């Protein structure tokens, strides 16, 4: 069963006098439980594709399906519901809400969903321990390192066990040890919970963990390889 | 409901993210609220005092007269019922106080000067509780009863007439046949009033003495009634109307003195305008604070939208933030107003400007009146207009596209 299906996606941005084709008649299908790396040079279209899959950006044409729902024609409210229920996001930076503690950040999505306080607390403590942040629950983002912040963001993305996790350069601000730990965590979740991961990255180290590498150039897929992960 | 708590916590935390800005804005709201309530209390106190003083001169909350008396207040237009009949009808009617009286224009003459006055023939015991004259503070003495043969003048009038207690004056008016009705009276007392013009305008004699002088038997020109509250005279009007027929006219105090009646209505309008004007000044600061608060966290708003928060929730979060700011500011302002008005309720001496105030019928003491209705009005206006003022920045925040907001530098 497809977790994600993109059919003939086009997206053009205007930059000054130039039209930039971020997605150029791109089609791709990702099965449930896959661990996919989107790779391209800067401006290759991987973030645009990730945003289109997450319903953050609407393509100019084409179709985006998440499981059996077509999302490119949904309203903002429907897209918000979809993201809340099915998708976990990890962004490159500005990942956390600065006025909330680590634990509150992790609880945020559950709180919006209406999960009872006791359950939220239990889950958030457990997931923070899982990502190695036990004891830092009451720290605010400004009191944590970049790596710790990124791990909080990962914890928030996976705490509700979404079917799909979209990560945009999740290791960009991390040292190699923290990057490896993060990728191990992703791999574990992928294997144990069958969570589908789509990760946009430049990072060669991340590619080693992926079971499928999708290379993009100028908004098109130029290579799509299945491999044995590390 | 759970979203309300989520948004409230976020709003509260964001409010205190920039302490200095929030404290400055809270101070502005608190001072504005204090100014609204304090000025309103002073103005209401002044107007209430003017109305109460005015009603004590009228006097009473409701009066009955001959239908032509208010147009032509002469002895010819007397109440159709005799004093005996009036007593039978009103004695046990449950009024706070009531009195029948003779009120006619007259001239008072001393050996040196003459002045036009309003001559009041009264039963002093019946009017003691609502008269504008403090009987115990009268220089000399006040009237002993309805048969008293003396006259009590205002101190200012006595000055003008160059007379004093113990001297004689002549009161002259007309009887119902338009014949001169006059009599010599010994000045037995001089009264003082808050307003000088009142001291110049009235002369008090016993009611029966006045009836004898004017040759009107036991008839009167007006009957006055006092109820529980001058703001709500309708129950009193209904009670009086139920005891008289069409031969007399029942008038509320607002109809007897239309200037005072208009002032009371105008007061509420003035309060509303005053509160709105102050809020408009505040609203610039409020909108600026909210715009800045939204502007500096566009990326975070984008993040929340990306994580699945609906645009309506972002809108709600900014509005709740604004409402919290206003509520805290209002609370501080309310407490500040209460703390500054309460100690002044004993009265503020404004005698320095009292001469000017007399033009408006106000006395030289100002008693601030902290009315709960005015406090509610000020708070409601600020909350409602604050809500409207916060809509624009909140709406803008909720319209951000998550992907654009997240990448905003």
Handedness of CA B158, B160, B161, B167 (dihedral sign): positive
Rounded CA-CA distance B243/B86 in Å is 10
Question: Which residues partner with B116 through β-bridges?
Answer: B107
The minimum CA-CA distance between A181 and chain B, rounded to whole Å, is 24
* Rounded average pLDDT over B291-301: 86
Rounded CA-CA distance A2/A63 in Å is 14
Give the pLDDT of residue A122.
94
Contact A99 B14 (CB under 8 A): yes
A93 vs B122, which has greater pLDDT? B122
The minimum CA-CA distance between B43 and chain A, rounded to whole Å, is 45
pLDDT-derived band at B278 (thresholds 50, 70, 90) equals confident
Give the pLDDT of residue B200.
93
Question: Which residue in A158, A160, A203 sits closest to A178, CA to CA?
Answer: A203
CB contacts of A57 in chain B (<8 Å) are 401, 403
* Rounded average pLDDT over B152-156: 96
Place of tokens 């109307």: B241
Across chain B, what does the average pLDDT equal? 89
Q: What is the largest CA-CA distance in chain A?
A: 54
pLDDT-derived band at B140 (thresholds 50, 70, 90) equals very high
CB contacts of B6 in chain A (<8 Å) are 108, 111-112
Give the pLDDT of residue B161.
95
The minimum CA-CA distance between B287 and chain A, rounded to whole Å, is 22
Residue A4's SS3 state is strand
B75 touches B179 (CB < 8 A) = no
Rounded CA-CA distance B322/B334 in Å is 18
Q: Decide if pLDDT at B32 tops 60.
A: yes
Give the pLDDT of residue B367.
86
A150 touches B38 (CB < 8 A) = no
Contact A77 B312 (CB under 8 A): yes
Give the pLDDT of residue B361.
57
Question: What's this model's pTM, rounded to 2 decimal places?
Answer: 0.74
State the Cα angle at B404 between A100 and B284, rounded to 5°: 70
CB contacts of A156 in chain B (<8 Å) are 307
**Tokens of residue B316, six digits:** 């709600």
Question: Which residue in A189, A185, A214 sits closest to A199, CA to CA?
Answer: A214
Question: Which residues partner with B174 through β-bridges?
Answer: B180
Say how far residue B305 (Cα) sits from the centre of its chain. 53
CB contacts of B299 in chain A (<8 Å) are 94
**Tokens of residue B343, six digits:** 């100690």
- In percent, the amount of chain B with pLDDT more than 90 equals 54
Place of tokens 């409901």: B1
State the Cα angle at B134 between B130 and B137, rounded to 5°: 170
* Rounded average pLDDT over B173-198: 91
Give the pLDDT of residue A182.
84
The number of beta carbons lying within 10 Å of the beta carbon of residue B393 is 24
Rounded CA-CA distance B64/B329 in Å is 50
In this complex, which of A56, A81, A100 lies closest to B306 when CB atoms are compared? Answer: A56
Place of tokens 């306080």: A117
* Helix or strand run (H / E) with residue A51: helix A46-53
Residues of chain A where predicted confidence (pLDDT) is lower than 50: none
How confident is the model over B385-403, as pLDDT tens digits? 889 988 988 998 888 888 8
Contact A80 B300 (CB under 8 A): no
Give the pLDDT of residue A60.
93
Question: Which residue in A45, A102, A110, A56 sits closest to A79, CA to CA?
Answer: A56
Handedness of CA B187, B191, B192, B196 (dihedral sign): negative
Give the pLDDT of residue B135.
92
Cβ-based neighbours of B45, under 8 Å, separated by 6 or more: B366, B367, B368, B369
* Rounded average pLDDT over B242-256: 90
In this complex, which of A83, A94, A96 lies closest to B308 when CB atoms are compared? Answer: A83
Rounded CA-CA distance B326/B386 in Å is 7
Contact A97 B10 (CB under 8 A): yes
pLDDT-derived band at B377 (thresholds 50, 70, 90) equals confident
pLDDT-derived band at B6 (thresholds 50, 70, 90) equals confident
CB contacts of A80 in chain B (<8 Å) are 305, 308-311
Rounded CA-CA distance B283/B386 in Å is 7
Contact A111 B6 (CB under 8 A): yes
CB contacts of B13 in chain A (<8 Å) are 99-100
The minimum CA-CA distance between A84 and chain B, rounded to whole Å, is 4
How confident is the model over B323-367, as pLDDT tens digits? 999 999 999 999 999 999 999 888 888 777 666 666 555 667 788
The minimum CA-CA distance between B282 and chain A, rounded to whole Å, is 27
Query: Among B13, B299, B306, B401, which would you mutate to test the A interface (most chain A Cβ atoms within 10 Å of its Cβ)?
Result: B306
CB contacts of B402 in chain A (<8 Å) are 56
Give the pLDDT of residue B45.
86
Rounded CA-CA distance A179/A208 in Å is 12
Between helix B2-15 and helix A102-113 the angle, nearest 10°, is 150
pLDDT-derived band at B381 (thresholds 50, 70, 90) equals confident
Place of tokens 């976020």: B10
Whether the CB of B137 is below 8 Å from some CB of chain A: the reply is no
Rounded CA-CA distance B233/B251 in Å is 10
The secondary structure of residue A74, as a DSSP letter, is -
ipTM of the complex: 0.89
Interface of A with B (CB under 8 A): 51, 54, 56-57, 76-77, 80-85, 87, 89, 91, 94-100, 108-109, 111-114, 156
How confident is the model over B60-90, as pLDDT tens digits? 899 999 999 988 998 999 998 898 999 999 9
3-state SS of chain B?
A: CHHHHHHHHHHHHHHCCCHHHHHHHHHHHHHHHHHHHHHHHHHHHHHHHHHHHHHHHCCCCEEEECCCCCCCCCCCCCCCCCHHHHHHHHCCCCCCEEEEEEEEEEEEECCCCEEEEEEEEECHHHHCCCCCCCHHHCEECCCCCCCCCEEEEEHHHHHHHCCCCCCEEEEEEECCCCCEEEEEEEEEEEECCCCHHHHHHEEEEEHHHHHHHHCCCCCCCEEEEECCCCCCCHHHHHHHHCCCCCCCEEEEHHHHCHHHHHHHHHHHHHHHHHHHHHHHHHHHHHHHHHHHHHHCCHHHHHHHHHHCCCHHHHHHHHHHHHHHHHHHHHHHHHHHHHHHHHHHCCCEECHHHHHHHHCCCCCCEECCCCCHHHHHHHHHHHHHHHHHHHHHHHHHHHCCCHHHHHCCC
The number of beta carbons lying within 10 Å of the beta carbon of residue B145 is 12
B101 touches B59 (CB < 8 A) = no
Whether the CB of B215 is below 8 Å from some CB of chain A: the reply is no
* Rounded average pLDDT over B290-317: 89
A-B CB pairs within 8 A amount to: 70
Give the pLDDT of residue B355.
63
Whether the CB of B128 is below 8 Å from some CB of chain A: the reply is no
The secondary structure of residue A37, as a DSSP letter, is E
Q: Give the chain A residue whose CA is nearest to the CA of B3.
A: A112
Question: Which residue in A155, A165, A158 sits closest to A35, CA to CA?
Answer: A165
B113 vs B364, which has greater pLDDT? B113
């Amino acid at each position: 069963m497809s977790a994600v299906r993109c059919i003939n996606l086009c997206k053009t941005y205007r930059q000054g006098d130039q039209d930039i084709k971020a997605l150029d008649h791109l089609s791709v299908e990702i099965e449930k439980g896959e661990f996919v790396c989107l790779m391209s040079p800067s401006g290759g279209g991987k973030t645009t594709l990730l945003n289109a899959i997450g319903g953050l950006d609407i393509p100019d044409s084409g179709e985006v399906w998440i499981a059996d729902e077509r999302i490119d024609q949904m309203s903002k409210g429907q897209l918000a519901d979809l993201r809340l229920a099915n998708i976990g996001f990890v962004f490159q930076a500005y990942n956390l809400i600065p006025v909330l503690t680590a634990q509150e950040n992790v609880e945020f999505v559950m709180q919006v969903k209406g999960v009872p306080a006791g359950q939220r607390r239990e889950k958030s403590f457990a997931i923070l321990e899982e990502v190695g942040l036990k004891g830092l629950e009451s720290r605010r983002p400004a009191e944590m390192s970049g790596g710790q912040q990124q791990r909080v963001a990962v914890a928030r993305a996976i705490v509700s066990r979404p079917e799909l996790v979209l990560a945009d350069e999740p290791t960009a601000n991390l040292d190699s040890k923290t990057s490896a730990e993060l990728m191990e965590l992703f791999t574990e979740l992928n294997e144990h919970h069958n969570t589908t991961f789509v990760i946009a990255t430049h990072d060669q180290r991340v590619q080693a963990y992926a079971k499928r590498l999708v290379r993009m150039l100028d908004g098109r897929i130029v290579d799509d390889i299945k491999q044995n992960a590390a | 409901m759970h979203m309300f708590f989520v948004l409230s916590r976020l709003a509260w935390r964001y409010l205190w993210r920039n302490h200095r800005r929030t404290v400055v804005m809270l101070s502005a709201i608190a001072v504005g609220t204090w100014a609204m309530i304090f000025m309103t209390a002073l103005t209401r106190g002044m107007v209430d005092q003017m109305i109460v003083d005015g009603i004590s001169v009228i006097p009473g909350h409701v009066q009955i007269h001959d239908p032509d008396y208010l147009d032509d207040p002469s002895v010819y237009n007397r109440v159709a019922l005799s004093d005996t009949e009036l007593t039978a009808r009103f004695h046990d009617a449950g009024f706070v106080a009531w009195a029948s009286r003779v009120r006619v224009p007259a001239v008072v003459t001393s050996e040196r000067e003459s002045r036009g006055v309003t001559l009041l023939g009264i039963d002093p015991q019946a009017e003691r509780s609502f008269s504008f004259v403090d009987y115990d503070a009268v220089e000399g003495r006040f009237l002993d009863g309805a048969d008293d043969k003396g006259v009590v003048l205002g101190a200012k009038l006595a000055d003008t007439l160059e007379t004093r207690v113990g001297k004689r004056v002549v009161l002259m008016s007309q009887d119902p046949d338009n014949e001169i009705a006059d009599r010599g009276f010994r000045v037995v007392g001089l009264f003082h009033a808050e307003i000088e013009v009142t001291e110049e305008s009235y002369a008090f004699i016993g009611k029966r003495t006045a009836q004898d002088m004017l040759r009107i038997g036991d008839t009167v020109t007006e009957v006055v009634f006092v109820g529980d509250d001058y703001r709500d005279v309708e129950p009193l009007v209904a009670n009086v109307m139920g005891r008289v027929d069409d031969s007399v006219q029942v008038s509320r105090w607002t109809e007897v003195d239309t200037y005072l009646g208009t002032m009371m209505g105008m007061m509420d309008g003035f309060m509303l305008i005053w509160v709105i004007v102050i809020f408009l000044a505040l609203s610039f600061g409020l909108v600026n604070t909210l715009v800045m608060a939204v502007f500096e966290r566009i990326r975070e708003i984008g993040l929340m939208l990306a994580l699945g928060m609906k645009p309506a929730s972002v809108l709600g979060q900014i509005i709740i933030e604004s409402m919290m700011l206003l509520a805290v500011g209002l609370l501080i302002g309310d407490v500040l107003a209460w703390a500054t008005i309460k100690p002044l309720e004993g009265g503020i001496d404004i005698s320095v400007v009292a001469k000017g105030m007399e033009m408006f019928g106000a006395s030289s003491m100002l008693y601030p009146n902290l009315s709960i209705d005015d406090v509610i009005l000020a708070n409601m206006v600020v909350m409602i207009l604050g809500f409207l003022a916060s809509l624009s920045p909140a709406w803008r925040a909720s319209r951000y596209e998550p992907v654009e907001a997240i990448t905003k530098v």
